[in-house]
Amino acid sequence: MPLQTDFIVIGSGIAGLRSAIELAAGGARVSVLTKSKASDSNTEWAQGGVAVVLSDDDAAELHEDDTLSAGAGLCDEEAVRVLVNEGTKYIKQLIEWGTEFDREGGKLVFTREAAHSRRRILHARGDSTGKEIVRALIARARQEKGINLSPFADTESLIVRKGRCVGVRFLDPILKAPREIYANAIVMCTGGAGQLYQHSTNPPGATGDGMAMAYFAGAEMADMEFVQFHPTALNLPNAPRFLLSEAMRGEGAVLRNAHGKRFMADYDERLELAPRDIVSRSIVAEMRKTGTRTAFLDITEKSEKFLKERFPKIFQTCKIYGLDISRDFLPVSPASHYTMGGVRTDLWGRTSIEGLYAAGEVTCTGVHGANRLASNSLLEGLVFGARAGEAVLKDVTGFELNESHLKRKEDEDGLFGPASPALDTAVFKRVKRIMWERAGISRSEEPMRRALEEFDQISSANLSLKSRNFVTLATLVINAALWRTESRGGHFRRDFPDRDDAWKFHSVQKSDAPIARSKSVTGFSE
Ligand code: SIN
């Protein structure tokens, strides 16, 4: 008898946990499969905060305008309206569930980040906002008897039968063997693919597995060309690219070049608080001008006391590397941070495959357009995680898995490709380097074509499913980046440096069709 439950959620970041809580609140059994510890996710690493309309001088329309403007003409307006209007309700609920955002005199404090017209970013424990949210959500999830959290359960493919997604193949952490688990619906919340690049602010697990699984199951992928590079990752030899939160610039940090000159005025009138794509490219241009590989973030105007309280984690981490943020300029350079593209969903997390839903960074709802506004991602995971859960409950009423869904077909994919950790490590390293050098902050046709040729060569080896997923995802990013012969938001082409509104379309990729264009991301299910 195969393992069976009512619903499966893959991933335990903000979207996965919120969606599991929604599903279980109605009494359903929900298996949450996550490839590492339950608390290990991109959410857990989020420093800056969560954007929400809650302060007296703010309004949903202002948050909407800022999101649309950062998105560089490619946001789905309806998705943005859902985000900013429903965000307030879900954040209030998060507070009721015990999330402790920072307060002064009992009142919530809001910080500012790039491209926000108001101070609207809530934060927790200074710069550990994601960690606090995950803590509160896990505590809330534990109150739901129906939720079964399975850590270290690595999923590598989806089971689709009779056109419906009915289960997941995963590596059972206890049996150390591949298994299948079946359910009435699957909600994919596996996060993004920042690790596609050699330099990333993301945790090691952000390899985009969910995107690849959905793609191979036949789902549509939208806007894969749009990758966000965070301007200020700590740049020290042999150290991971630790994020130096944008909130530091929100609190007054400035960028300096190798000669100590503050340079952002040469690039954008919004200075250090211009949208991330602009700041990232300005840093790269300035590094080139000065013939160096780093720029510097300077927050020495602030007192040690303020910095220790406001950025405790950053303060401590920099100290480990011998840097005192109240005295030293901090070496920084851009690193991949967020994937705006992903599994195409409607406004309720439905994908193009029946039975498969998705929420959070793994998706493309069109909410971020070509460039995500800072601190909108936790809000997206929360709002669309809850909505996906709600939609699943509504859609599957009356549906039951039957024998034909559970029966394995003769020619179905094997459970796992040949596992080969050494080959996986080599493949990941090679792909990440190619992506960084040829499809990163600045792109052009010839290097991207050569990258595709190399991916073809790599794919001709007998790859494990893990490596196959990774190379495929990299190929999807480059396919879309080659296709879009203009520059917009996070996608910059040296050979087509201008924005061209003939390209006000989304890219859509599917395993059995050539790349296509679509006016809206979310409209497909109507
Ligand atoms: C940051 O703290 O700079 C990251 C916040 C975000 O990516 O929204």
The encoded tokens of residue 441 equal 């902050």
Specify if 28 maps to a domain.
yes
456-512, pLDDT tens digit by residue?
A: 999 999 899 899 999 999 999 999 999 999 999 999 999 999 999 999 999 999 999
CB hemisphere CA count around 114 (13 angstroms) = 28
Same domain, 128 and 53: yes
Same domain, 431 and 314: no
* C-alpha gyration radius of the chain: 22
Give the separation between CA 224 and CA 339, rounded to whole angstroms: 8
Span from the CA of 234 to the centroid of ligand 1 (angstroms):
14
Give the separation between CA 392 and CA 22, rounded to whole angstroms: 10
Specify if 502 maps to a domain.
no
On the question of pLDDT at 182 being above 90, the answer is: yes
Sheet holding 164-172, edge to edge: 3-4, 177-182, 164-172, 154-161
Same domain, 47 and 186: yes
Atom number in ligand 1 closest to CA 375: 8
Query: In 128-261, which ranges are continuous DSSP H helix?
Result: 129-142, 209-216, 246-250
The neighbour count for residue 85, using CB atoms within 10 Å, is 15
- The catalytic residue among 276, 350, 438, 443 is 276
Q: Which pLDDT score is estimated for 236?
A: 96
146 contacts: CB under 8 Å, gap ≥ 6: 6, 23, 24, 27, 28, 29, 30
Same domain, 299 and 164: no
50-91, pLDDT tens digit by residue?
A: 999 999 999 999 999 999 999 999 999 999 999 999 999 999
**Overall domain count for the chain:** 3
Same domain, 38 and 104: yes
Atom number in ligand 1 closest to CA 228: 7
Residue 435's nearest CA partner among 410, 470, 464 is: 470
Q: What is the DSSP letter of 360?
A: S
Domain with residue 477: its CATH number is 1.20.58.100
Specify if 522 maps to a domain.
no
Does residue 380 line the site of ligand 1, with CB under 6 A? no
Specify if 203 maps to a domain.
yes
Give the separation between CA 69 and CA 112, rounded to whole angstroms: 16
On the question of pLDDT at 41 being above 90, the answer is: no
Specify if 504 maps to a domain.
no
Query: Using alpha carbons only, what angle is made at residue 117 by residues 383 and 125, rounded to the nearest 5 degrees?
Result: 60
On the question of pLDDT at 410 being above 70, the answer is: no
Average pLDDT over residues 435-454: 98
pLDDT over 90 for what percent of the chain? Answer: 87
Span from the CA of 29 to the centroid of ligand 1 (angstroms):
34
Same domain, 104 and 208: yes
Give the DSSP per-residue string, 139-150: HHHHT-TTEEEE
Kindly report the protein residue whose alpha carbon is nearest to atom 2 of ligand 1.
Answer: 48
99-141, pLDDT tens digit by residue?
A: 999 999 999 999 988 889 999 999 999 999 999 999 999 999 9
Which residues, in sequence order, are bridge partners of residue 335? 230
Span from the CA of 245 to the centroid of ligand 1 (angstroms):
6
Same domain, 52 and 90: yes
Domain with residue 288: its CATH number is 3.90.700.10
pTM of the predicted protein model: 0.95
Atom number in ligand 1 closest to CA 51: 8
Which sign, positive or negative, has the C-alpha torsion 148, 150, 151, 154?
negative
Average pLDDT over residues 505-522: 95
Return the best residue to mutate from 243, 251, 255, 380 for the ligand 1 pocket (most ligand atoms within 8 A of CB): 243
Q: Which pLDDT score is estimated for 411?
A: 65
Same domain, 305 and 454: no
Q: Which pLDDT score is estimated for 398?
A: 80
- Which of 317, 336, 355 terminates a domain? The answer is 336
Task: Decide if 29 is catalytic.
Answer: no
Does residue 375 line the site of ligand 1, with CB under 6 A? yes
Same domain, 245 and 259: yes
Same domain, 311 and 451: no
- Let me know: does 48 contact 246? Beta carbons within 8 Å: yes
On the question of pLDDT at 16 being above 60, the answer is: yes
- Residue 442 CA, chain-centre distance (Å), reads 20
Return the best residue to mutate from 14, 111, 202, 246 for the ligand 1 pocket (most ligand atoms within 8 A of CB): 246
349-400, pLDDT tens digit by residue?
A: 999 999 999 999 999 999 999 999 999 999 999 999 999 999 999 999 888 8
- Mean residue pLDDT across the chain: 94
Span from the CA of 120 to the centroid of ligand 1 (angstroms):
13
Q: Which pLDDT score is estimated for 415?
A: 47
Same domain, 68 and 24: yes
Same domain, 377 and 430: no
Q: Which pLDDT score is estimated for 418?
A: 65
By CB atoms closer than 10 A (0-12, 13-18, 19+), residue 306 is middle
Kindly report the protein residue whose alpha carbon is nearest to atom 4 of ligand 1.
Answer: 48
- Which of 309, 336, 363 terminates a domain? The answer is 336
Does residue 43 line the site of ligand 1, with CB under 6 A? no
Does residue 374 line the site of ligand 1, with CB under 6 A? yes
Domain with residue 181: its CATH number is 3.50.50.60
Atom number in ligand 1 closest to CA 376: 8
- Which of 382, 406, 430 terminates a domain? The answer is 406
511 contacts: CB under 8 Å, gap ≥ 6: 215, 216, 218
Specify if 519 maps to a domain.
no
pLDDT category of residue 413 using cuts at 50, 70 and 90? low
Q: Which pLDDT score is estimated for 417?
A: 59
202-233, pLDDT tens digit by residue?
A: 999 999 999 999 999 999 999 999 999 999 99
Q: Domain span at residue 177?
A: 3-222+340-406
Span from the CA of 179 to the centroid of ligand 1 (angstroms):
37
Specify if 509 maps to a domain.
no
Specify if 119 maps to a domain.
yes
